[in-house]
Structures are given as C-alpha cells and as structure tokens.
Amino acid sequence: MGRLRGRATSAGSLPPAPLLLGAQGADALRGGAAPLPRPGLRAGARGAAAGPRGGRLAQPTPRGPGQPRRALRRPGVGQLRRAGGAAPAAGRLPQAGRDPQRGGAVSEPLIARYELKYWSTPAQDGAVLAELGPLLERDPHASEEAPSYLVSSLYFDTPDFAAYEEKLEGQRLRAKLRLRRYGADLGGFAELKAKEGRRIYKWRVPLSAEELRALCEGDASPLDAARGQGSEAAARLLAELSCRELRPAAITRYEREAHRLIRDPSARLTFDRSLAGWGRDLVAAFLDPELGARPLLPLDARAPTILELKVSGPVPEHCLAALRAAGLRWSRISK
C-alpha cells in the first residue's frame, strides 16, 4: 500500500501490535511455507502487463545468507489512484457500508478504524458480556444456537518474509494480504489490511468458491475482473500484488464470537478462541472443505481468548469501563 490519507476521530493512544506467534510457532510456519503452484500471479483478461494495471508478479528472488532484506517498492497515492481508486482525502472520510452477512464493513468505501486487543480468560469474557450484554446484539452470521463461527485465513508474504519482519520491526506503514473463509463456506474474501500508525484500513473483495480457488492457485483474474467493474478494493489489492513477490505463507484459524453495539453497529466486540496455525500444504489445506476439522498447530497464546474492540470513531467510554472493570489491559497482538 502507498501512503494512506485521511483523518479519524481520535480514540486515544493505542499500542502497536507485533505478531502473536511465539518463536517455535513462527519457525514452524516459516519452515513449512510453500510457494504458489505457479510462479507468481497470472494476469487477467486485460493482459500480462506488470504493475497496477496487471495482475502479475515477478519471479521470487530469495536473498542469500547474510544478505540484507532489500527495501520494498510500494505504490504512492497517485499510483493507487491510477490503479482505479482514490485514497481518502485529508480531512474528509467516506461513509462505511455494512456487510449484512458478517457484521463488518464492506469494502468500498471504508474509513479508518482502531482496534483495541486484549488477552482474556473465560471469567473475564463473562464479566465483560455481563456488563455490556444489554447494549449488544449478535453478529448477523451467528445465532443463539451457534453463537460462534470459524474464521480461516491464508496469509501471503514475500520469499524472505518481509511482511513478517515489518511487523516485528514495528514499521509505521505496513500491509498484509490474505484470503479469508467463514465456517464451511467454500467461497470467501480477498482482503488487504493496511496500518498507518494507529489507523487501520481494510479493503475486501467477495469471492465465489471458484474465484477463491483461482487466487490460491496463482490466478489474479478474479481481482482483475472486479477492478473492471469499478472495484476500488480490487484495484488496491492488485496494486499491492504488483510491487511484492507474494506467495502463501501461513494459515490461521480461530472460533469467533462477535457482537456489535445496538446504537452504533460500526463498533464491534469480538472474542477469538481456539487459535491455531499451519505452514505446510497451504493451498490444499486452505481449500479443504473439512479445514475446520483439520488438526493445526496451536498458537503461542497468553490466554484462551483474544478480545477485540473495533471502532471507527471515539471509543465508547462505557465499553472501556467494562474492560477495565474486568481487569483487562490492551496488549500487542496480531493474528
């Protein structure tokens, strides 16, 4: 991603978020990362031209022992605009739509948001829900019978794990690209999540089962087709792909219980449990209809739950009070 412009109402000073994986888990995922079945992403119907107007990546060039990681070229705001989408103008934020199936914001347009994350125990989960329960409604994808749902993500990185290193180094401007599935659905989303300081931006493109498989196997034509229909999210995803040598790098999976504030549905409270990851046979594993039943590597977690409060404006004081009363303190966490 290039430099993102825009201004969100301050929600207080929030911490950076290094990776969740411990050293052992990270080494396991690093050692098992598999390249794409084909080298790079093939261009879509518009041709094989490299850059934001195509969907093709350069051949991976792994660095040798002792070689420093080279600086990565990222498109500037002007380049992203030429790719089909304008960055949010300074001092003016577009209105965010809603995804009725997932309770999250749809891809176009999306304002900056903040995410407060906490390690939490079952007792603390219960205390927060008891305090805020009358003010919450369940995520539309959940129900009383099935209050949680499975979230599975396939993350992409460069051959030398540049995105991973950027996170560890705490770089102010960074981005990650992932494919995401919910529950047993074989379709899902392609997502680009960018962070600039404390502000977070996310773009997502819905994908059918066939389109999700195509992207996993190295074919970017579904994004190219979406861009041709005016999708800013697809344009930004293609711009990121054009300047990074991306390949599947890791799978994460967890059970999510999600709620949103009745008076402000843009504010969400999520509880992610049973966190696990994987680094081998990534494409086959991610496309497996039985992914939810696969035994994966448990992640190095300090507590059973990652509790997260997501807001796109001022943080509701009553939410902060409930979190403090439960003895929670925000932590540097990323899944």
Reduced to 3 states (helix: H, G, I; strand: E, B; else coil), residue 262 is coil
Cβ–Cβ under 8 Å, residues 306 and 335: yes
Nearest 5°: the CA angle 219, 192, 207 is 50
Of 282, 306, 322, 256, residue with least CA distance to 120: 306
Which strand (E) or helix (H) includes residue 118? strand 114-120
State how far the Cα of 219 lies from the Cα of 208, in Å rounded to an integer: 14
Q: Is the torsion defined by CA of 266, 267, 272, 278 positive or negative?
A: positive
pLDDT at residue number 110: 60
Cα(294)–Cα(58) distance, rounded to whole angstroms?
A: 33
Confidence at residue 302, expressed as pLDDT on a 0 to 100 scale: 82
Burial class, 212, CB count within 10 angstroms (exposed 0-12 / middle 13-18 / buried 19+) = buried
The verdict on residue 68 lying in a domain is no
One-letter identity of residue 287 = L
What is the C-alpha separation between 118 and 333, in angstroms, rounded? 8
In order along its 335 residues, the chain shows pLDDT tens digits of: 332 222 233 333 322 223 233 333 333 333 333 333 333 444 343 333 333 333 433 333 444 444 445 444 444 333 333 333 333 333 222 333 334 344 443 444 567 899 999 999 999 999 999 999 999 998 887 777 778 999 999 999 999 999 999 999 988 899 999 999 998 899 999 999 999 988 899 999 999 999 999 999 999 999 999 999 999 999 999 999 888 889 999 999 999 999 999 998 889 999 999 999 999 999 999 999 988 888 888 887 788 999 999 999 889 999 999 999 999 999 988 87
What was the pLDDT predicted at 175?
A: 93
**In degrees, to the nearest 5, what angle opens at C-alpha 19 toward C-alphas 248 and 71?**
65
Task: Return the pLDDT at 303.
Answer: 87
Q: Which of 205, 174, 175 is nearest to 187 (CA)?
A: 205
Does residue 301 sit within a domain?
Answer: yes
What lies within 8 Å, CB to CB, of 287 at 6+ separation is 186, 212, 213, 216
**Domain-embedded: residue 35:** yes
Answer whether residue 137 is part of any domain: yes
213 part of a folded domain: yes
Which pLDDT value is given to residue 144?
Answer: 73
Give me the domain span that covers residue 135: 23-58+74-85+105-325
Question: Measured in Å, how far apart are the chain's first and last C-alpha atoms?
Answer: 20
Say which DSSP state 105 is in. B
Question: Is 177 domain-assigned?
Answer: yes
Q: Is residue 17 part of a domain?
A: no
In the block, tokens 């999976």 appear at 253
CA atoms within 13 A on the CB side of 259: 20
Instruction: Give the C-alpha separation, 169 to 236, whole Å.
Output: 24
Structural domain count of the chain: 1
Q: What is the DSSP letter of 113?
A: B
The letter for the amino acid at 33 is A
Task: Yes or no: say if 77 and 162 are a contact pair by the CB < 8 Å rule.
Answer: no
At 139 the pLDDT is 84
- Within a domain: residue 93? no
CB 140 within 8 A of CB 258: no
pTM exceeds 0.75, yes or no: no
**At 243, which CATH number?**
2.40.320.10
